[in-house]
Structure 1
Amino acid sequence: MDRLKRLFNPCSIAVIGGGAWGAEVIRQCQKIGFAGDIWVVHPTKEDVVGLAPFREIADLPAAPDAVFIGVNRHATVAVVAALAAIGAGGAICFASGFSEAAHEIADGDDLQQALLVAAGDMPVIGPNCYGFLNYLDGVALWPDQHGGLRVNSGVALIAQSSNVAINLTMQTRGLPIAYVATVGNQAQTGLSEIGQTLLANPKVTALGLYLEGLDDLAGFVELAAAARRSGKPIVALKTGKSEQAQRAAISHTASLAGSDAGADALFDRLGIGRVSSLSTFLETLKLLHVVGPMGEATVASMSCSGGEASLMADMAHGQSISFPTLSASQQVDLRNTLGPIVALANPLDYHTFIWGNEDAMTATFSAMMSPQMALGVVILDFPRRDRCTSPAWDLVLNAVERAQAQTGRPIAVLSSLVESLPEDVAIDLVTRGIVPLCGMAEAIEAIEVAARVAKTRGSGVFVPPAVRPAKILSEAEAKQVLQGYGLPIPRSEYVTDIRHLADAGQAVGFPVVLKGTGIAHKTDVGAVVVGIADADALTAAARAMPTDRFLVEQMITEVTVELLVGVVLDPAHGYVLTLAAGGTLTEILADSASLILPVDADDITQALAGLRIAPVLEGYRGAAAVNLGAIIDAVLAVQSYVVANTPIEVEINPLMCGPNGAIAADALITTGERHD
């Protein structure tokens, strides 16, 4: 049973407290048309927004389904306990000053723990929470204005910022919103559980998340799985950086695989579409509400302006959107309608010859919509209504509707400027099953996201246990550990007495590499010397190093390219695997790909193919290609160690790759210690 269903779909609402915020909740419930009972609890007031308050929670006629608690933080705990005792369906805790303010208020953590004890099994959202809006059923546990309207179906929005949530309700883009929910500090109930409740409503078509961090990785993974099962896509706009993911200053992996890369990798794995702005967030959700996931980003672009056609082509350049070439039959159909002067191409400038001719525009739009087109886009900017008229523009909309019906292919109406698609037109288009898109840049990104959303990569996510740093292994120790999981390493000897270097060199076999150990970024301080040919040169190199501990290693030859293979524990997103151009230029080249564990051979192959150095791996200008299978085996060996031992970080840099194999020339491990 969904424990939040009663809270989000209440038949009765109680407001605790008669202050300005609680009074506004009552006004908003009345304004939105809440059809159930509204009760107020206040110890002294005779009237709160026209309602006679009950003096105590115990005086309520029944246990309320949903409660807005608008009293101070200390009183909130007692109120929650009283509500839980009578079996209330759930509560919004508006007050702040709990764990989110622990740095400023000494008792913040203690008060939050007391709140959790008081709530018991009763759902509590917050504290420091604005509440939610249910535009499907007319519920507004919301202490402020909002800009939404009642709808029959729409998208659900969850935001970790109340102000962002308010702003999203003020959109004038025609996006039907079914729910808006804020989460506060998620003391008990997190966004993942709320998301599952909202997605379970058959009238919700998609879920949009404004994220500053994840509440719980395992719960978030389950939310994504629930979305896939229901066929309802998720779009996320994530901000913020995870300091924990940047902790390892001595490694390259941490700087390459910060939380932003981790978020990208996790969303890619889970089939969640990530967007870059609030505008694109809204446009993508609108496209998904009307059309759903597109599968491909093949577009037929149509406009009566060469400038607009050029803008579409330029904005899509370098992106995953493609404009398929027109077939011979399409060209024949278009030529019959447009005449001999119009240049036939995609994007199409159909000129103004057919402007005002609804039948000709219908024929043109239909001819462009071949089965290979995932989406048609008709560019149409409305004139200002306060100074102009637009009867001919309605004919274009009619033609789009007819062409969509004739071809069975979705067609969007795109205004190149956000301001030039009136809200009432956008709302009308949605009711007609036509997607209204506002702004070219936003539309391009929205189409890209809609084409890849719901496509999962790999099989599941390895959710790590709670781990804290334990110790940093020496290079020799790290290599030995990883060799036990199948990672090839050079022959080596560890030396703590310079007098034994010659013997170590003979044991390894000249030429050798000498490394000073216990030093971060050895190359920067001259603590790595390669190609040492004899014992005298070996001793001389050691004397010049700022250490008295050394690693004498086999000299790896026939190296085509150096790679970095790193795994870092990002507490928010799981284990992030980074594959990158390696060696001393790792951070300068910044040529990397990030994946969430676990990965398989196909994942690794695809990630390597996406690097800028991929041509070198494949054999550039006649050079021998690297042994790709050996690289894959090396990466999988590192993964095996990580899954078995849950460290904080592992880094191989460089992994020396050539036609005959892949060998780890350097290694770093920061081990992890589990804690609950």
Structure 2
Amino acid sequence: MSLASFFQPRSIALVGATEREGSVGRAIWDNLRSFTGPVFPVNAKHAEVCGVRAFPKIASLPEVPELVIIVTPAATVPQLVEDAGIAGAKAVVVISAGFKETGAEGAKLEAEALAAARRHGVRLIGPNCLGLMNPHAGLNASFASSVARPGRVAFLSQSGALCTAILDWSHDQHVGFSAFVSTGAMADVGWGDLIRHFGADPHTGSIVIYMESVGDDASAFLAAARSVAAEKPIVVIKVGRTSEASRAAASHTGAMTGSDAVLDAALRQSGVLRVDTIEELFDMAEVLAKQPLPAGPRLAIVTNAGGPGALATDALVLGHGALADLSAETMAELNALLPASWSHHNPVDVLGDADAARFAQALRIVSRDRGVDGVLAILTPQAMTHPTDIAREVAQIAQKAEKPLLASWMGAQSVMEGRAILNAAHVPTYDYPDEAAHAFVRMREHRMRLLWLSETQSAHADDDDAEPPQVSEMISAVLRSGRTLMTEQEAKQLLQVAGIPVVETRAAYDEAAAVAAAEAIGYPVAVKLLSDTITHKSDCGGVQLNLLNATAVQQAWRLIRDNVTHLHGLGAFDGVTVQRMITQKGYELILGTSTDAQFGPVLLFGAGGTLVEVLQDRALALPPLNHASARRWVEQTRISRVLHGGRGQPPVDFAALDDVLVKFARLVQHERRIVELDINPLLATSEGVLALDARVVVRE
């Protein structure tokens, strides 16, 4: 249902309007006086409010209000929402507090208010919020002390207090808004609804979000973000980055995923840029709306002083950007233009006596270089420098620029006019060059996130919901047996059915069977614990490797049995599995999944083996995947650099690895009874990929 009734209502009723100074009802009433449509005060105790006729209840209003704002105590809200729905109102904003944030009784009131809204098809923002503004419509339906300037940024915040602080800050910084929304508890209208609304709003150029929680419908948020982010930048700051509240899990994967890390992966694949500070939140919204995105990480810097260029270089490289290598043609042009003592490399130091013509021509030359993805112009006010004249030249260049162009006009009074000229030309300006370099890095990151988004959308479109029926049958059989932990043998069979290559493995329930299995497979072999209850075999001496004959297999059987019996009792020992000992040189990886309460299946990839928790080299992703997004996921890890080969080692079979990752993602996406699944190690070699060990936990 459309949210237009919140932001372009024809008429408004304020329930709880009052003349009492210092009250929320009075503050909102005063703010609503600038609205051009009819505004009706509803107050059962007073005949008028500030000289305007008041009405005792919503039903007594002379016309149906499209938007109803409620500021009365929480206990009155459910009935008032019911009254608004019966009257025919389309939207309700509940400013009042005292709901689920106060405990069980408040949660009951909130549920009743939501039920009333849904009975009548009414949309509800709040409760416990500051309200909302639409500066382009002259609407200030909030109790903020000032109104936002009109602009192109939609600001959405779960913190009402932060809204007021941002509002004060925005006046000093001349930041304008297409809308200003305090979401409150998000009982009904959530992130997904708001993102879709402002994605279609012609006044909105970008969406910025202060987020404390994703809310109850994470999938709606992600789906909305995916549908909007390619057209309008969405920038988020999320507080609460620590993972103390993430659930404990027995698997490597579950232990290594936290709610914040999962959110990070979800935002990345949805094309949403995440930032760390409030200043950066609005800065990036502005930059992304004004400038094209860089095609790559290579930045060229043109400066009239060496020190600031070095500062920008450090920030660029530390942020995983790169200094552009200037072509021979560019170097020749610069040598012909600049004095002999210029820097002769990037950053291009045009020297402190550079006039506007020299600075501008150097900037043009560098911008034309095909090896340059973006340009940063840095100016320091020196005796021979004319910041305003140079700014005019840079502004002219910006009109024809096809690459991002950023500027740092360092100083105060002497550069103010130049900054204003650049800002008017849509060239973002920064007080310090390291800030500008960091912004370029963020722009590059946003481009990469949009590539993730495109691949994620393709993966969703290509997903055929195909799942081999044997997978469901195998899981059902385990659950019927009263178990939730699959044996290693069962886990590998599951993977094999899903199309993931596994090492040949046989179960053995006595010593003689272990020897027979080894003889059938062929030496050398590995022998591992078979148990319904023990999660990590190596922790209890349950893995014996590189066994060359029957005697070694017999000894391994006894050693594993004795180790497990000593630590966990004989009941934990069911037997062993015998598998081929892989002698190919390769890399041990981990591939896993666990279930996040908000986002569902979460995928983990990284360096594996027994040191997986120590190395902590992993990356998270959400299904589905295609081969392109699988490769992008792998490249996020440090071990990916090793997988490409070097020092005499060939690269791994990336095509086979990508294929395994895609099939793994499809398996856990469509079989939601899989709670946790670890493949550790997943061996990657130049000849293919093989699951050497697996652990699966399932549920009803």
- Give the structure-2-normalised TM-score: 0.83
Bigger shift: residues 33-42 or 125-134: 33-42
Aligned partner (choices 129, 136, 156) of residue 158 of structure 1 = 156
- 2:470 is aligned to none
Distance 1:509 1:359, change over 3 A: closer
- Tell me if the contact between 2:624 and 2:662 (Cα under 8 Å) persists in the aligned partners: no
- 1:386 is aligned to none
Distance 1:640 1:330, change over 3 A: closer
- 2:559 is aligned to 541
Aligned partner (choices 462, 468, 489) of residue 476 of structure 1 = 489
Q: Deviations over 1:13-53 (max 9, x none)?
A: 322113611221233344xx433333221122455455443
Which letter maps to 1:395? Answer: D
Written as runs of structure 1 = structure 2, the 5 A alignment for 1:180-199 is 180-199=180-199
Distance 1:46 1:358, change over 3 A: farther
State the alpha-carbon separation in 2 of the partners of residues 196 and 251 from structure 1: 37
Structure 2 gap segments, 5+ residues each: 466-478, 565-571
Q: Deviations over 1:607-646 (max 9, x none)?
A: 3345333354344432454444443443344234223312
Which letter maps to 1:227? Answer: V
Bigger shift: residues 281-290 or 508-517: 508-517
Question: Are 1:600 and 2:615 matched, yes or no?
Answer: no
Written as runs of structure 1 = structure 2, the 5 A alignment for 1:25-40 is 25-30=28-33, 33-40=34-41
Distance 1:505 1:299, change over 3 A: closer
Distance 1:59 1:610, change over 3 A: closer
Which letter maps to 2:27? Answer: E
State the alpha-carbon separation in 1 of the partners of residues 414 and 115 from structure 2: 51
State the alpha-carbon separation in 1 of the partners of residues 146 and 415 from structure 2: 19
Distance 1:366 1:507, change over 3 A: closer
The offset of 1:308, in angstroms, is 0.5
- 2:583 is aligned to 558
Distance 1:393 1:605, change over 3 A: closer
Written as runs of structure 1 = structure 2, the 5 A alignment for 1:327-476 is 327=327, 330-331=330-331, 334=334, 338-354=338-354, 357-370=355-368, 372=370, 373-380=372-379, 392-405=386-399, 411-414=405-408, 429-451=422-444, 452-453=446-447, 454-455=450-451, 456-460=453-457, 471-476=484-489
Distance 1:351 1:173, change over 3 A: farther
Any idea what SS the aligned residue of 2:681 has? strand
State the alpha-carbon separation in 2 of the partners of residues 55 and 390 from structure 1: 72
Q: Deviations over 1:62-90 (max 9, x none)?
A: 22232321111111111111111222231
Alignment root-mean-square deviation, CA? 3.5
- Tell me if the contact between 1:283 and 1:438 (Cα under 8 Å) persists in the aligned partners: no
State the alpha-carbon separation in 1 of the partners of residues 490 and 242 from structure 2: 29
- Tell me if the contact between 1:381 and 1:421 (Cα under 8 Å) persists in the aligned partners: no
Which letter maps to 1:488? Answer: P
- 2:237 is aligned to 237
State the alpha-carbon separation in 1 of the partners of residues 64 and 671 from structure 2: 49
- 1:487 is aligned to 500
Distance 1:138 1:557, change over 3 A: same
Structure 1 gap segments, 5+ residues each: 384-388
The offset of 1:472, in angstroms, is 2.9
Distance 1:263 1:640, change over 3 A: same
- Tell me if the contact between 1:130 and 1:143 (Cα under 8 Å) persists in the aligned partners: yes
The offset of 1:226, in angstroms, is 3.2
State the alpha-carbon separation in 2 of the partners of residues 254 and 438 from structure 1: 44
The count of corresponding residues between Structure 1 and Structure 2 is 652
- 1:14 is aligned to 13
- Tell me if the contact between 1:135 and 1:149 (Cα under 8 Å) persists in the aligned partners: yes
- Tell me if the contact between 1:508 and 1:552 (Cα under 8 Å) persists in the aligned partners: no
- Tell me if the contact between 2:352 and 2:384 (Cα under 8 Å) persists in the aligned partners: no
- Tell me if the contact between 2:305 and 2:349 (Cα under 8 Å) persists in the aligned partners: yes
Distance 1:251 1:416, change over 3 A: farther
Written as runs of structure 1 = structure 2, the 5 A alignment for 1:555-634 is 555-559=580-584, 560-634=586-660
- Tell me if the contact between 1:134 and 1:140 (Cα under 8 Å) persists in the aligned partners: yes
Task: Point out which structure has higher relative CO (alpha carbons under 8 A, 6+ apart).
Answer: 1
The offset of 1:510, in angstroms, is 4.4
- Tell me if the contact between 1:363 and 1:403 (Cα under 8 Å) persists in the aligned partners: no
Aligned partner (choices 655, 658, 661) of residue 685 of structure 2 = 658
State the alpha-carbon separation in 2 of the partners of residues 89 and 382 from structure 1: 57
Which letter maps to 2:259? Answer: S
Any idea what SS the aligned residue of 2:149 has? coil
- 1:118 is aligned to 116
Kindly indicate which of the two structures has a greater share of residues assigned to helix.
2
Which letter maps to 2:543? Answer: V
- Tell me if the contact between 2:82 and 2:116 (Cα under 8 Å) persists in the aligned partners: yes
- 1:226 is aligned to 227
State the alpha-carbon separation in 1 of the partners of residues 260 and 284 from structure 2: 20
The offset of 1:563, in angstroms, is 1.0
- Tell me if the contact between 1:577 and 1:594 (Cα under 8 Å) persists in the aligned partners: yes
